[in-house]
Structure 1
Amino acid sequence: MLPSPVSSARRGTYRRNAATSRRKFNLFDVLYSRARVTNLGFLLLAVVTTISLLYNLRYLSRARQPKHTDSSVLLSTVSRDVTHLRLNHLIIVPGHAIWKGTDPELRLREDQWVLEPYQRGGGRISTFFAHIYRGAELVREDVNALLVFSGGQTRSASTTTEAESYMRLALAADVFQTGSSTFKRATTEDHALDSFQNFLFSITRFHEYTGRYPTKITIIGYEFKRARFTDLHRRALRWPMEKFQYIGVDLDVDHHPIAETGEVNGYLPYSRDLYGCHSVLLSKRRQRNLHARFHSYYQSSPALRELLDWCPSSSTSAKGEDELFMGGLPWDHAY
């Protein structure tokens, strides 16, 4: 007996419905398969989440860290005199006070200066000017020399730096004998807070001003500070002795005992803390940095970045030992 058309149609409909059900069932299994797709999806989600977390942590870390400006951007504003390329002799005159006057004829009057109490009397002001004048003599005699007056904004009673005031006095008194209000082979270093920084920062300022490092250094200061600069600061910077000269211009002879007593209090701390970055010497820097100034030498002298940041451990200093900076320095190589 042949199947009726109705029963055949019903069987075809049933088969189609069964096939559809099987397809739906299989798709459902694929989507919710625990063995393959769900575990893989979880793994992918975990990987994406981890990468996103690490990226955000890295972003936040960078956002909190100080950014180092590309030095080329800063240096693009500097236009150096081509004649400065030949300069190789650095002459340093450390500052000791601030001249606030305008008339160089009155330079030996104490009311024309911002002084510490211990600096009053005893002919100290005349010695300050003698340092300036001697520096001018030397730079006039050597056409390859650059004179750097060094000293920061160290007084609460003045916003002028020691160095800038020395330069103003030098030009006003015409110690360069040019009859002009400018002298291209003299500049200022306006951040030093002590004698060690006078030495180091003047080197970086020389590089900032000329584009090169000096091959010879002369420092003009008190005779009783010779040992501090020659034996301690020069050693800390590993500057070769054969390329170094110290010229002492001292106080009047009647005041040597007082001056020498003060130098004992200056020499001994540096003998235990060559880089002046702990306890007593660090405290002095903080007391003198009344206007919260920061130098630019990380950018202008990147070769000295590690030296500028060098500070041996406090335990080493407490033991009376020192730890020289042994990283590379521009003057390590023969010129």
Structure 2
Amino acid sequence: MLPTPISARFSQRSPKLGGGITASTAYHRHGRSRARLDVLLTRARVTNLGLILLGSFAALSFLVNLSYYLSSSCAPGVVAFGHPPGSILDTIEREDEVKGLSHLILVPGHGIWKGWNEEEKLDEEKWVLEQYQLGGGRVSAWVKHIETGAELALQDENSLLVFSGGQTRRNSTTTEGESYLRLASQTGMFKPNHRGISDLEPFRRATTENYALDSFQNLLFAIARFHEYTGRYPELITVVGYEMKRKRFTDLHRAALRWPADRFHYIGIDPEKEAPSARNGERQNGYLPYTRDTYGCHDELQQKRRSRNPFFRYHSYYTSSPDLTGLFDWCPGTPEGGPTVLYPGQLPWHKPR
């Protein structure tokens, strides 16, 4: 509080009243309540009452802003970043046919193709591969994944084909998704005899997702990329990948995103010469780790993401799909009940029961 104004103070030399009682004593005995009110209402540069009101307003404002900040940053389902700024939206003009797309066809990436023509698509020398990916017909299976995705996209005019995979290799500046789309285009998978598409004209219903570092992010980021590309979320999802990864996608990743099972399809294609050990490897290094860490954000799976991000890339979907912010950041641990607790917030495709 401000000091009591001089005009409201009693002189130290108060005259004595009868019985030896000073005026000051009488004041304190009989007028204490009135004195306090007088002090509050006495004029000063800022009255004490005014100061209290200003302080109360400031405190209330602080609490309101703090509550908003915490709810935006932490509470599931709350939009933290708002809508994309006008400087971004001004660069985007979607055609009507793009706005109406509703079927996401996802092809997750596994390697990076560095070839340029039809003859090089199956040549392992034209792929950036890990040591364990050499031989066994893996490259052939990846090409079939790409071909199948392209065929599905051509069959369904309401679909958007998304090749997903980030810049995961130190010895390549290309992303997995970009190399897959380039392979599809360079090898004529989008045929010119389909709906007037020429070899020189890009297929408008195919795009890339360039940030995913694992299978969970392949699915989540492909949904976000679909929204970024079309302005809406898909109604149907089809994934084209390894058959041995079917359960990982259908039972774990789909469930982690709470995507409806009746609107999710999986097409599995394994290498023809794949060794039996590959299925065991998928179970031990892929499926089982996700049963213990649903969102892949702890220990072993998190370390895999770090090792696959040598160029320190991060996605743009906080801006283009802000209503997925809570899901992007959801990483349950012991305080929330364990690393398998499903994200509880509202989702664009979630239908309340």
- The TM tier, using the shorter chain, reads 0.7 to 0.9
Q: Please state whether the residue corresponding to 1:93 is helix, strand or coil.
A: strand
Aligned equivalent of 1:23: none
The answer as to 2:97 corresponding to 1:83 is yes
Instruction: State the structure with bigger RCO (CA 8 A, min sep 6), 1 or 2.
Output: 2
Identity, in percent, stands at 52
1:176-211 CA deviation, whole Å, 9 max, x = no partner?
113235100000011111000000110111111111
The answer as to 2:200 corresponding to 1:180 is yes
**Quick one: distance in 2 between partners of 1:48 and 1:240?**
53
CA contact (8 A) 1:218 1:246 kept: yes
**Quick one: distance in 2 between partners of 1:156 and 1:201?**
22
Aligned equivalent of 2:293: 273
1:251-266 equivalences under 5 Å are 251-253=271-273, 255-264=274-283, 265-266=285-286
Coordinate RMSD, CA, aligned: 3.2
TM-fit CA distance, 1:50: 7.0
1:204-219 equivalences under 5 Å are 204-219=224-239
TM-fit CA distance, 1:142: 0.7
**Quick one: distance in 1 between partners of 2:301 and 2:317?**
21
Aligned equivalent of 1:332: 350
1:119-138 equivalences under 5 Å are 119-138=133-152
Gaps in structure 1 of 5+ consecutive residues: 1-29
**Quick one: distance in 2 between partners of 1:120 and 1:110?**
7
1:269-306 CA deviation, whole Å, 9 max, x = no partner?
10011111111111111111111111111121122121
1:1-335 equivalences under 5 Å are 34=9, 41=44, 68=81, 71-73=84-86, 74-178=88-192, 179-253=199-273, 255-264=274-283, 265-314=285-334, 322-333=340-351
Q: Which has the larger radius of gyration?
A: 1
CA gap 1:214/1:43 in 2 versus in 1, 3 angstroms = same
Q: Please state whether the residue corresponding to 2:162 is helix, strand or coil.
A: strand
CA contact (8 A) 2:181 2:208 kept: yes
Residue-pair matches, total: 300
TM-fit CA distance, 1:213: 0.9
**Quick one: distance in 2 between partners of 1:245 and 1:48?**
61
**Quick one: distance in 2 between partners of 1:229 and 1:121?**
25
**Quick one: distance in 2 between partners of 1:315 and 1:104?**
53
TM-fit CA distance, 1:333: 3.5
TM-fit CA distance, 1:47: 7.0
**Quick one: distance in 2 between partners of 1:118 and 1:295?**
28
CA contact (8 A) 2:105 2:153 kept: yes
TM-fit CA distance, 1:140: 0.6
TM-fit CA distance, 1:143: 0.8
TM-fit CA distance, 1:312: 0.8
CA contact (8 A) 2:81 2:322 kept: no
TM-fit CA distance, 1:242: 0.8
Gaps in structure 2 of 5+ consecutive residues: 11-37, 67-72, 74-79, 193-198
| Structure-1-length-normalised TM-score | 0.79
1:97-156 CA deviation, whole Å, 9 max, x = no partner?
111122331121122111111111111111111110010010011111110000011111
TM-fit CA distance, 1:31: 6.6
Amino acid at match of 2:279: E
**Quick one: distance in 1 between partners of 2:119 and 2:293?**
41
